[in-house]
Amino acid sequence: MYRFLLSPRWLGALALTLVAAAVMVFLGNWQLDRYRGRTEVNERIDAGQRMAPTPLADALRAPTGGAGTTGPAPAEDKVWTRVTVTGRYDPTNTVLVRGRTVDSRVGFEVLTPLVLADGTALLIDRGWIPPAPGGATAQPQVPAVPTGDVTVVGRVHETESGAGAVARRDGRLEIRRIGVSRLAGELPYPVYGAYLLLDEQTPAADPAFKAVPVGHANNWQNFGYVVQWWLFAVMALFGYGWVARREARRAAGLGTTPAPLDRAAEPTPSTSA
């Protein structure tokens, strides 16, 4: 009944179906890995918000090169770790990160190097401020930093990709994305390989700053893709089986409908006198 499945046409269709199903399963597994990775990131973000701050050295290795160099990037499990560090702000090398949106408004994030006792520096993202009147690119009035020693508590943020070139405008550094290595090349000291997203500091931060929100990765979108690709794989196999069964029934005559009787063609019964 199913011997036709051994014909070249049906064997080719089976091979194509199996390859398509295997590709769909692979894509589902790939999305599953992305779902797990994004879930781990979200868990680290949540844990960083709750944890007690630890010394900077527990999360980041100090830079060992000369001025303008960067230290090692943080280990993956150290990103979003909440740390505390003490140093002195260097306002002469403040960085404005343009085109940053908070509460649907475009403005600037302000990074200021915190110079530690050993001469190394850590970039501190002090928060977001709106531009000056005149447009989204108008340089803002940056609040002054506290003088003397400052103790900062914040979360480790890895460098951003696609930073582009660093520009100087009106004596200040500007950049579109926070590329630590790019910025380090403009600074007169070795710089840690990540920056700190400020949570609190002593003396207190200026209230003009708004905290930079941390967005969670959309891991459920990846989970939806997992279900989608695996469902497509099942549908491909089911479709092959359904078509094969229909063909088998047709060959066996089980799926044909008998032709209607032609009553007009039947002989007229004779009637006796």
Distance of alpha carbon 214 from alpha carbon 162, whole angstroms: 19
Q: How confident is the model at residue 273 (pLDDT cuts 50, 70, 90)?
A: very low
Write the pLDDT tens digit of every residue in 206-261.
999 999 888 777 777 888 988 999 999 999 999 988 888 888 888 777 655 555 55
| 43-57, 141-155, 191-205: range with lowest mean pLDDT | 43-57
Region 26-43: mean pLDDT is 86
| Average pLDDT for the chain | 87
Kindly report the number of other CB atoms within 10 A of residue 71's CB atom: 20
Q: Give the length of the chain.
A: 273
Q: Is the pLDDT of residue 126 over 60?
A: yes
pTM, to two decimals: 0.74
Q: Residue 249 CB: number of other CB atoms within 10 A? A: 13
